[in-house]
C-alpha cells in the first residue's frame, strides 16, 4: 500500500524537479534506501517496482 502512495509522489517530485511542500525528506530517503535493498535481490513480485525505482534513480 505504501508503494502505491509513495511512487506517484516521488515521481511527481522528480518530474517537476522540486520537493513537494510538506513531504518529510527523511521519509523519502528512507523509502529510497529500503527500495534499494529490496531491488538488490528482488522477488518476482517486485520487478515492476524495481524497474520504476531504477528509472527514478537514474533520472536524478
At 7-24, the pLDDT tens digits run 555 555 555 555 566 778
What digits encode the pLDDT tens for the residues 16-45?
A: 555 566 778 899 899 999 999 999 999 999
HSE-CB of 26 using CA atoms within 13 angstroms: 0
Give the pTM.
0.57
21: DSSP letter: T
Tell me how far CA of residue 56 lies from CA of 49, 52, 59, in angstroms.
11, 6, 5
Amino acid at each position: 500500500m505504501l508503494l502505491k502512495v509513495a511512487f506517484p509522489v516521488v515521481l511527481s517530485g522528480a518530474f517537476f524537479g522540486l520537493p513537494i511542500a510538506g513531504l518529510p525528506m527523511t521519509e523519502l530517503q528512507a523509502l529510497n534506501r529500503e527500495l534499494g535493498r529490496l531491488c538488490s535481490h528482488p522477488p518476482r513480485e517486485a520487478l515492476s517496482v524495481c524497474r520504476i525505482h531504477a528509472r527514478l534513480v537514474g533520472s536524478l
